[in-house]
């Protein structure tokens, strides 16, 4: 099977945490927001109720106090929850993978994209690739199974990156086109 294009880069623990966090966001972001919003609403109702009991002659104070508390606590809880998840990912991945550099090789084949890493070869069929999007110098590969990152340092220059993306999109389109 012919390799149409390839790219190589080294990655470290911070890169692993970044990709793992993107997958958490991709798969669980709405659940995280829902949890934060529910927490905020509960705190808002509680503080609104407390404001109502402190100033019973003016019940209209409870509504803005409750709404403001709901917004502030939902945002704060969401950021704390996200920070805790990232710390947990860092700790877990450090225990599993260690601290050193690893090499990733990404190859574009006729029917799949192949990611070669130590202890892992992952084939991503073109039909499962949803998008290949730039993220600064990096490329984000969105697939049914999650998010993968191709670091910008894999390319010698922007033109090499563009050639890689063009080849990937051509292969993806060719795989999606029915053969008659």
Q: What is the full per-residue pLDDT of the chain (180 aa) written as tens digits?
A: 678 888 998 888 888 888 888 877 766 666 777 777 777 777 777 777 777 777 777 777 777 777 777 777 778 888 888 888 889 888 988 888 888 888 999 999 988 999 998 888 999 999 999 888 888 888 889 888 888 888 989 998 988 999 999 999 888 888 776 655
- Can you list the positions of beta strands (E) in 1-56? 5-11
Class at the top of the CATH hierarchy for domain 5-11+101-175: mainly beta
- Can you list the positions of beta strands (E) in the chain? 5-11, 102-108, 112-117, 120-125, 129-135, 138-143, 146-150
The pLDDT value given to residue 113: 93
Domain-by-domain residue ranges, the chain?
Answer: 5-11+101-175, 13-97
The pLDDT value given to residue 115: 92
The pLDDT value given to residue 107: 92
The pLDDT value given to residue 180: 55
Q: What pTM, to 2 d.p., does this model score?
A: 0.68
The pLDDT value given to residue 84: 86
CA distance 9 to 134: 16
* Contact by Cβ (8 Å): 41, 49: no
Neighbours of 129 (CB within 10 A): 22
Structure tokens at 96: 């599993």
Q: Nearest 5°: phi and psi at 155? A: -115, 140
Q: What does R_g of the chain's alpha carbons equal in angstroms?
A: 23
The pLDDT value given to residue 106: 93
């Amino acid at each position: 099977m012919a390799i149409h294009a390839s790219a190589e880069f080294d990655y470290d623990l911070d890169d692993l945490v970044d990709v793992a966090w993107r997958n958490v966001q991709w798969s669980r972001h709405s659940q995280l927001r829902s949890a934060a919003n529910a927490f905020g609403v509960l705190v808002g109702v509680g503080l609104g109720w407390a404001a109502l009991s402190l100033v019973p002659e003016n019940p209209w104070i409870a509504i803005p106090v409750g709404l403001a508390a709901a917004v502030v606590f939902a945002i704060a809880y969401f950021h704390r929850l996200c920070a805790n998840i990232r710390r947990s990912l860092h700790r877990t991945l450090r225990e599993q993978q260690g601290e050193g550099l690893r090499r990733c090789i990404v190859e574009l084949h006729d029917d799949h994209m192949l990611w070669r890493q130590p202890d892992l070869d992952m084939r991503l069929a073109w039909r499962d690739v949803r998008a290949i999007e730039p993220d600064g110098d990096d490329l984000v590969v969105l697939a049914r199974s999650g998010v993968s990152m191709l670091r910008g340092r894999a390319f010698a220059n922007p033109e090499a990156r563009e050639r890689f993306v063009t080849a990937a999109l051509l292969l993806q389109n060719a795989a999606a086109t029915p053969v008659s």
